[in-house]
Amino acid sequence: MYVCLCNGVSDKKVRQAVRQFQPRSFQQLRKFVPVGNQCGKCVKACREIMQEEWEQMPDYKEIA
């Protein structure tokens, strides 16, 4: 499904970017995927996708 119609970005592309680069904010996500820089209608959907992906990621513990 397309999340950003202005730039032709799908939810799969956003999910892949979140998994691969693990951005902590929407502004960081925008460095990897061109979203939210035209009409802004995709911002809410992208934030929800980021949240869903972060909830599915396993917690890593640092080993000292």
Of the candidates 20, 21, 22, 2, the one whose C-alpha atom is nearest the C-alpha of residue 12 is 2
Alpha helices in 1-64 (DSSP H): 11-21, 26-32, 43-56
Of the candidates 1, 2, 6, 3, the one whose C-alpha atom is nearest the C-alpha of residue 38 is 6
Report the number of distinct structural domains present in the chain.
1
pLDDT digits (tens, 9 = 90+) for 39-61: 999 999 999 999 999 998 877 65
Domain contains 8: yes
Domain contains 62: no
Domain contains 63: no
Mean pLDDT confidence for 12-31: 95
> Which CATH number belongs to the domain containing residue 14 in this structure?
1.10.10.1100
Mean pLDDT confidence for 34-43: 92
Question: Domain limits at 33?
Answer: 2-56
Quote the pTM value: 0.84
Run of H or E residues at 58 = none
Residue 31's pLDDT is what? Answer: 95
Domain contains 64: no
